[in-house]
Amino acid sequence: MKLYIAEKPSLGKGIAEYLPGQKSKGNGFIQCGSDVVTWCFGHIFEQEEPDFYTPDTVPVTPKGKKKWRFEELPIFPGQWKRRPKDDAKAQIKVIRDLLKKASVVVNAGDPDREGQLLVDEVLEELGWKGKTERIWLAALDEQSVKKALANLKNNAEYQNLRNSAEARSRADWLTGMNLTRAYTLRNSGSGVVSVGRVQTPTLALVVARDEKIERFKPKDFYVPRIATGFWSAWEKRDELVDAEGYLTDKAIADGLVTKAKASGTATVIGYESSEKKQQAPLGYSLAELQKVCSAKLGLSAQQVLDAAQELYETHKCATYPRTDCRYLPEEQHGEAGRVLSGLAKLGFTDLTKDADASQKSAIWNTGKVTAHHAIIPTGSMQGSLSGAAAKVFELIVRSYLAQFYPPYVFRATKVVLDCAGEAWKATANVPVKPGWKAVYGMEVSGEDGEEDVQTIPVLKKGQVLPITGADVQSKQTKPPARFTDGTLIEAMSNIHKIVDDPEAKAKLKETSGLGTEATRANTLETLVNRGFIERKGKQILSTSAGRAVVKALPKELIDPVLTARWEDALGAIASGTVTLEKFESLQRSFVEKMIETAKKTTLAIGEARKPVGGKGGRKAGGKGPGCSACKKATVALKTKKGSVFFKCEGCQSCWWPDKQDEKKLGTKWEAR
């Protein structure tokens, strides 16, 4: 019997659908002729808790947990142990019983390092020693599944990938469990100081951006212009602008315009005009899709991931979403006609009729495909779409269809004029043929900037033009924008853009980011749930508790460069150039160093209360308890459903009353 073990039920059912033989459902599995498909529910085994590795002599709290003490730190497992999750024990028994009958097992985890480990660890814990194969599924449509079933690999080929995921798991455990305990023990406040190798540097990004905005002081600057049938702006001279390149002296700006008016004419000293072509943007990685959906649809990173996962698992209309790649393998180009035909049947006829399946854009590049290719439609669908999933799918479809449209053609013109001894420049980018932009209605999702569409006539050097107008535009510098889900995900995946060190920047640009495509959305939700960041509309802001954490922790724990380099090491483990043991040894040394640093640290951070869900509330009357984060007064509010919560008038954090609040106030809080 060949036993397929899938990462989750939906994946298992997707495989079973295309296996030969009569289908019959059992308790936690599907019989498919002589083969059987069963599944996990994500990780069904987890790392043991720190208490498992500490002596039984450690004092116990009233809740039955061992007390946190510096005497036990650092906690380094002599031999790593896993335990079954409580809600997975029944399914573990199903898998154990099926393994006894199996002759071959197929690892059907998701096509990434975490999916590899997820099934491998089940086989390890249950003592499987037999033949094991691997199925690599990037999509769940019929053609993709049948192709993957016909190309099973030896699971041993993925051992390094499994080790990479194991290294990530152990590093997170060593850092999170040890340093959370260490810094919480040094906290004089009531809150747990949660520390994580990805979440803490991510929090630091938000805090740094917020503080930069708050320190920002707007600066007035001026842009002199002249009109000669089109507008030209003054070309800056270093001696007249400040160190940042701004002309801040209004008198100088007015003087330049006055001189230009008095001159009466301008002479063409430079003229360039040519048609240029722009290829369609590459396909979507998860980070790029999250960025676009945040800007265009107002969706959170988690909402986008959930929608994309639904498209992949439930409707089978899009490929695997947790990808960091924006390219497609050239070998897949032959399927373009089938996919376009399928999209036409799904209602995209207006766009597919002008698509040329034989066209090859820059997206087709096998050499740049990583573990997964870009997110694209499969050309088929099960069920119907609605809500966020429908909107996200349309973006994915348009991105794919754009690859089969001709380039966008525009005329780029640049003119340099001499007027009163000063240089003045005008540019214009005028659309000629919409090409792939027709797929987007001339609006490109995720593209920055706008077209400069002023008309500039054909000119010749030496040509004299009359001055028909002149003015000074008054402008003001703006602070950087607050992070949104999309821009924060982008910052996490492009850490190199904020790194100054040239060597580190080059290395990070090549391979690294903060976290992975699969984990970034969850990292943001974790920070929100712990009260370290909050959402206001599309914006993400740090709370007072979040700022206090960043201020208290050492640079090594908040510096995204170091964390991104850990991702480099995990990639090296996956490629076989670094061993799991070497990486873990370095992590243990790092944790030891950080614990010593923690012993010299003093914190005063209040408990991060559970944020209130839903949209706003209204006053319920009365004052609440003092805020544990900033000690200021709170007001009691209630949601539309009548549940009471507290909102701080200082840091604006919100939380539900708990037994401690009720005991302190001597009353049950009820809406009035």
pLDDT tens-digit series, residues 529-563: 888 999 999 999 999 889 989 998 998 898 877 77
- Residues 38 and 115 grouped into a single domain: yes
Q: Is the pLDDT of residue 574 over 90?
A: yes
Task: Kindly state whether residue 611 falls inside one of the protein's structural domains.
Answer: no
Query: What band does 343 get if pLDDT is binned at 50, 70 and 90?
Result: very high
Q: What is the DSSP string of 551-597?
A: HHS-HHHH-HHHHHHHHHHHHHHHHTSS-HHHHHHHHHHHHHHHHHH
- Residues 209 and 224 grouped into a single domain: no
- Residues 529 and 566 grouped into a single domain: yes
Task: Kindly state whether residue 607 falls inside one of the protein's structural domains.
Answer: no
Name the average pLDDT for the chain: 87
Task: Kindly state whether residue 612 falls inside one of the protein's structural domains.
Answer: no
Q: What pLDDT score was predicted for residue 368?
A: 86
- Residues 15 and 161 grouped into a single domain: yes
In this structure, are residues 9 and 140 in contact, taking their beta carbons and an 8 Å threshold?
Answer: no
Per-residue pLDDT tens over the stretch 294-311: 999 999 999 999 999 999
Average pLDDT over residues 385-398: 96
Task: Kindly state whether residue 608 falls inside one of the protein's structural domains.
Answer: no
Query: What band does 249 get if pLDDT is binned at 50, 70 and 90?
Result: very high
Structural domains counted in the chain: 5
How close are the terminal C-alpha atoms of the chain, in Å?
A: 65
Average pLDDT over residues 400-404: 97
In this structure, are residues 374 and 328 in contact, taking their beta carbons and an 8 Å threshold?
Answer: yes
Active-site annotation holder among 4, 320, 327, 440: 320
14-18, 135-139, 296-300, 531-535 — which is least confidently predicted?
A: 135-139
* Helix/strand/coil for 234: strand
- Residues 550 and 574 grouped into a single domain: yes
- Residues 117 and 8 grouped into a single domain: yes
Task: Kindly state whether residue 670 falls inside one of the protein's structural domains.
Answer: no
Q: What pLDDT score was predicted for residue 629?
A: 46
Task: Kindly state whether residue 544 falls inside one of the protein's structural domains.
Answer: yes
Final residue belonging to a domain, choices 130, 153, 168: 168
Q: How many CB atoms lie within 10 A of CB 205?
A: 21
- Residues 43 and 159 grouped into a single domain: yes
* Helix/strand/coil for 401: helix
Structure tokens at 572: 């090296």
CATH number at residue 264: 2.70.20.10
- Residues 100 and 177 grouped into a single domain: no
3-state secondary structure 488-544: HHHHHHCHHHHCCCHHHHHHHHHHCCCCCCCCHHHHHHHHHHCCCEEEECCEEEECH
Q: Is the pLDDT of residue 391 over 60?
A: yes
34-38, 458-462, 580-584, 659-663 — which is least confidently predicted?
A: 659-663
Q: How many CB atoms lie within 10 A of CB 270?
A: 13
Per-residue pLDDT tens over the stretch 605-629: 766 544 444 333 334 445 556 654 4
In this structure, are residues 546 and 203 in contact, taking their beta carbons and an 8 Å threshold?
Answer: yes
The Cα–Cα gap between 317 and 285 comes to 16
Task: Kindly state whether residue 613 falls inside one of the protein's structural domains.
Answer: no
Q: What pLDDT score was predicted for residue 667?
A: 43
Average pLDDT over residues 517-540: 90
Per-residue CA distances from 430 to 444, 445, 460, 461 (Å):
16, 19, 19, 21
Q: How many CB atoms lie within 10 A of CB 358?
A: 8
Q: What pLDDT score was predicted for residue 657?
A: 59
- Residues 35 and 121 grouped into a single domain: yes
Structure tokens at 482: 């607050």
Is residue 320 flagged as an active site residue? yes
Whether the bond between 377 and the residue before it is cis, its omega within 30 degrees of 0, is no
The Cα–Cα gap between 322 and 373 comes to 10
* Helix/strand/coil for 81: coil
Task: Kindly state whether residue 249 falls inside one of the protein's structural domains.
Answer: yes
The Cα–Cα gap between 584 and 78 comes to 12
CATH number at residue 523: 1.10.460.10
Final residue belonging to a domain, choices 476, 497, 520: 476
- Residues 183 and 232 grouped into a single domain: no
Q: Is the pLDDT of residue 573 over 60?
A: yes
CATH number at residue 90: 3.40.50.140
- Residues 270 and 291 grouped into a single domain: no
Q: Dihedrals φ, ψ of 16, to 5°?
A: -60, -35
| DSSP character at residue 161 | H
CATH number at residue 326: 1.10.290.10
Residue 418 structural domain = 220-277+408-476
- Residues 21 and 134 grouped into a single domain: yes
What are the residues whose beta carbons fall under 8 Å from the beta carbon of 574, sequence distance 6 or more? 113, 160, 161, 163, 164
Q: Is the dihedral of CA 415, 420, 423, 427 positive or negative?
A: negative
The Cα–Cα gap between 515 and 596 comes to 26
